[in-house]
Amino acid sequence: MGFRLSWSDYVLDLDERTHVMGVLNVTPDSFSDGGRYFEPERAVEHGLQMARDGADIIDVGGESTKPYAKRLSCSQEMDRVIPVIEVLARELSIPISIDTYKSEVAQEGLKAGASIINDISALRFDPNMAPVAARHDVPLILMHMKGTPENMQQNPHYRDLISEISQFLKDAIDRSVKAGVREELIIVDPGIGFGKTFDHNLEIIKKLEQFQSLGRPLLLGTSNKAFIGHILDKGVDERDTGSMASVAAGVMNGAQMVRVHNVKMGVETVKVIDAIRRGEV
CATH number for 93 = 3.20.20.20
Instruction: Round the average pLDDT of the chain to a whole number and report it.
Output: 93
* Predicted pLDDT of residue 70: 73
Domain hosting residue 77, numbered range: 4-278
Ramachandran bin of 195, using left for φ above 0, alpha for ψ from -120 to 50, beta for the remaining angles: left
Q: How many domains does the chain have?
A: 1
pLDDT in tens, 160-210: 999 999 999 999 999 999 999 999 999 999 999 999 999 999 999 999 999
Of 24, 103, 30, nearest in space to 63 by CA: 30
Of 249, 258, 216, nearest in space to 231 by CA: 249
Q: Which residues are catalytic?
A: 225, 259
Tally of CB atoms within 10 A around 279? 7
Pair 210, 237: CB distance under 8 Å: no
pLDDT in tens, 34-61: 556 568 889 999 999 999 999 999 999 9
